[in-house]
Amino acid sequence: MAMQICFLVKAGSGVATLGLPDSPGVPRTTTANTLTAPYNDLEAVKKLFSENPDAISGVILEPIVGNAGFITPEPGFLEGLRELTTENGSLLVFDEVMTGFRISYGGAQEKFGVTPDLTTLGKVIGGGLPVGAYGGKKEIMSMVAPSGPVYQAGTLSGNPLAMTAGIKTLELLKQEGTYEKLDAITSRLIEGIIQSAENNSIAINGGSVSAMFGFFLCDGPVRNFDEAKTNETELFGKLHRNMLQRGIYLAPSPFEAGFTSLAHSEEEIDKTIEAFDQSFNAIKN
Ligand SMILES: Cc1ncc(COP(=O)(O)O)c(C=O)c1O
């Protein structure tokens, strides 16, 4: 099965933040091979399959969205995609660049109990150093050279520095209590952020899964990118600048997820919540 994946069709947080259309320079003939459907909308994906019989080689998504802000899958969405792709002889691909090893050692697929055919991973497995990886079912991976005809290589493939940092990171993550600690500090952080906004009568909705969190400055729930766009982006800009003045550097976009790490202490979480409280107070009308 040939699978041609051409992205920068409704790309991620960077394009959304800058309000850019689908990236110029990517020819229409390329993007014409990619269909898009809203996240959490199984019916829309079903419709694409019925309108394009035998033409969809795979479905790729972030199992938890991080590139349109933080959006979680509704119960049944990932399971439904698994069934739909299997029924149609199509591959299910999870982009776990953000979620892999972050929300659990086995990523989103472990957390939600849905196994994709292929998984993509990124900098997390390199301890933050430049690395990318993909893996999946044996029948697919055996297509890759040298066991199969699909050639793939790059200057940084298997780079020893990134591999060493990655192995060490995975060792640290495997220690007992890692994900419990991440879970605890992250939920305390997001609960504190939501409480601070509510104390200042600012509309907010958000949540966390293990070390990944996010919020939108609007009434929720936010289930897809269109709903994410109802978020008060100018207010987020003010919040961002206020947080910076208090020494906290949030990702500079209302369409990014946030992450905690094992380096974050309880004290830093408290300080961050305090900075949110003061910043929300400063920006409210
Ligand atoms: C979910 C997701 N997928 C893919 C990428 C792209 O990864 P890379 O730059 O390693 O190609 C990113 C970049 O941050 C990402 O967040």
pLDDT digits (tens, 9 = 90+) for 1-54: 334 445 656 666 776 666 555 667 777 777 778 899 999 999 999 999 999 999
- Whether 99 is in the pocket of ligand 1, judged by its Cβ within 6 Å, is no
The pTM of the full predicted model, rounded to 2 decimals, is 0.92
**Is pLDDT above 80 for 60?**
yes
CATH class of the structural domain 13-173: alpha beta
Residue nearest (by alpha carbon) to ligand 1 atom 4: 97
Q: Which atom of ligand 1 is nearest to the CA of 98?
A: 1
CA of 93 to the centre of ligand 1 (A): 14
Q: Is there a shared CATH topology between the 13-173 domain and the 178-283 domain?
A: no
CA atoms within 13 A on the CB side of 185: 23
CA of 120 to the centre of ligand 1 (A): 9
- Whether 128 is in the pocket of ligand 1, judged by its Cβ within 6 Å, is no
Q: Which atom of ligand 1 is nearest to the CA of 130?
A: 10
70 in Cβ contact with 36 (< 8 Å): no
Q: Where are the domains of the chain?
A: 13-173, 178-283
- Whether 214 is in the pocket of ligand 1, judged by its Cβ within 6 Å, is no
For 31-125, strand residue ranges (E) read: 58-61, 91-95, 118-121
Q: What is the pLDDT of residue 156?
A: 83
User: What is the CATH architecture of 178-283?
Assistant: Alpha-Beta Complex (3.90)
State whether residue 100 is helix, strand or coil.
strand
Which of the pair, 78 or 1, is modelled with greater confidence?
A: 78
